[in-house]
Chain A
Amino acid sequence: MKVTAQPSADTLTLHLDGELDASSAILLDTELAKPDILNYKKVLVDCAKLSYISSAGLGVFISHLQRFQDAEVKLVFFNMQEKVFNVFEILGLDALMTIVPTEAEATAA
């Protein structure tokens, strides 16, 4: 699992590459826990290469969501593969999180 951070102006884009499970979720958590992430207006999560997510990965996002909301930082997922989106749907997380098909829509969200 690789997490690549791409900052630009008021937006941080996190590119996820690989499988997010109980072993690799710590990588994502480390990135989201950085204090300066709250200085961005938007954090976009590029899921094009995210091929798998388990409850450990979902839990990392859930654990930071309130902190982001309190700091008025928008968290937006895009380019999500169908099988990964299915997991968000099954838990009802598609209602709690912003998930859009494309980067353009994520930027505009």
Chain B
Amino acid sequence: MSATLRITCSRSNLQKVRDFVREYLVEEHLSAVTVNQVVLAVDEVVANFIIHANGEDESQFLDVALGVTPHRLDVEIVDQGDTIFLPPSHQAPDLREYVRQGRKGGMGMTLVHRLMDDVSFFARDNHTVCHLSKRLP
């Protein structure tokens, strides 16, 4: 079974995305920690698309698709805008340095890479796609 949600690029829609993922995962009887990990990873990617790729332009929208096969969850987030946004190769941040600098951002993709088993960004039909997958117990 799969499910899809379309949202406009407003950070006020992040709650809707999280609730969508939670409701979808109810049937999988996962621990609260695991559900939260998936919700967080999706939230982080969607937030990046909304804020950085689309500048919170509410005329733009994203599609979030979820699918589960035995022991695996797949998530695909498609930016329906036509600007390709491929994040640079990820490097783990030095959080002590972030604290020294009083830095507020830059940890989202680190979380995504640690929470999910596979993270990829690519262009398809002139749109940016993010694919996430996680092995489920």
Q: What is the interface of chain A, defined by CB distance below 8 A to chain B?
A: 19, 21-23, 29, 52, 54-56, 58-60, 62-67, 82-84, 86-87, 90-93, 96
Kindly provide the distance from the CB of A16 to the nearest chain B CB, expressed in whole angstroms: 16
> Are B51 and A22 in contact, with the CB atoms below 8 A?
yes
Kindly provide the distance from the CB of A70 to the nearest chain B CB, expressed in whole angstroms: 10
Q: Look across to chain B and name the residue whose beta carbon is closest to the beta carbon of A65.
A: B99
Q: Which of B44, B104, B111 contacts A63 (CB 8 A)?
A: B104
In the bound assembly, the distance between CA atoms of A54 and B50 in angstroms comes to 15
| 19 additional A-B residue pairs with CB within 8 Å, beyond A54-B40, A86-B36 | A19-B18, A21-B15, A22-B11, A22-B47, A22-B50, A22-B51, A23-B15, A52-B36, A54-B47, A55-B111, A59-B106, A59-B107, A62-B107, A66-B101, A83-B35, A90-B111, A91-B111, A93-B95, A96-B95
Kindly provide the distance from the CB of B105 to the nearest chain A CB, expressed in whole angstroms: 5
> Are B105 and A55 in contact, with the CB atoms below 8 A?
yes
Hey, which chain A residues are within 8 Å of B37, CB to CB? Answer: 86
> Are A58 and B107 in contact, with the CB atoms below 8 A?
yes
Residue B119, interface by CB 8 Å: no
Q: Which 6 A-B pairs have the closest CB atoms?
A: A83-B36, A59-B104, A55-B108, A63-B104, A55-B107, A23-B11
> Are A59 and B36 in contact, with the CB atoms below 8 A?
no
Number of A-B contacts (CB under 8 A): 88
Q: A82-B33, A83-B36, A96-B96 are in contact. Are A54 and B43 (CB under 8 A)?
A: yes
In the bound assembly, the distance between CA atoms of A86 and B102 in angstroms comes to 23
> Are B104 and A60 in contact, with the CB atoms below 8 A?
yes
In the bound assembly, the distance between CA atoms of A50 and B39 in angstroms comes to 15
Kindly provide the distance from the CB of A12 to the nearest chain B CB, expressed in whole angstroms: 20
> Are A63 and B36 in contact, with the CB atoms below 8 A?
no
Q: Which of A29, A54, A63, A92 contacts B103 (CB 8 A)?
A: A63
Q: Look across to chain A and name the residue whose beta carbon is closest to the beta carbon of B12.
A: A23
> Are A66 and B100 in contact, with the CB atoms below 8 A?
yes
> Are A59 and B105 in contact, with the CB atoms below 8 A?
yes
> Are A63 and B15 in contact, with the CB atoms below 8 A?
no
> Are B103 and A19 in contact, with the CB atoms below 8 A?
no
Kindly provide the distance from the CB of A81 to the nearest chain B CB, expressed in whole angstroms: 8
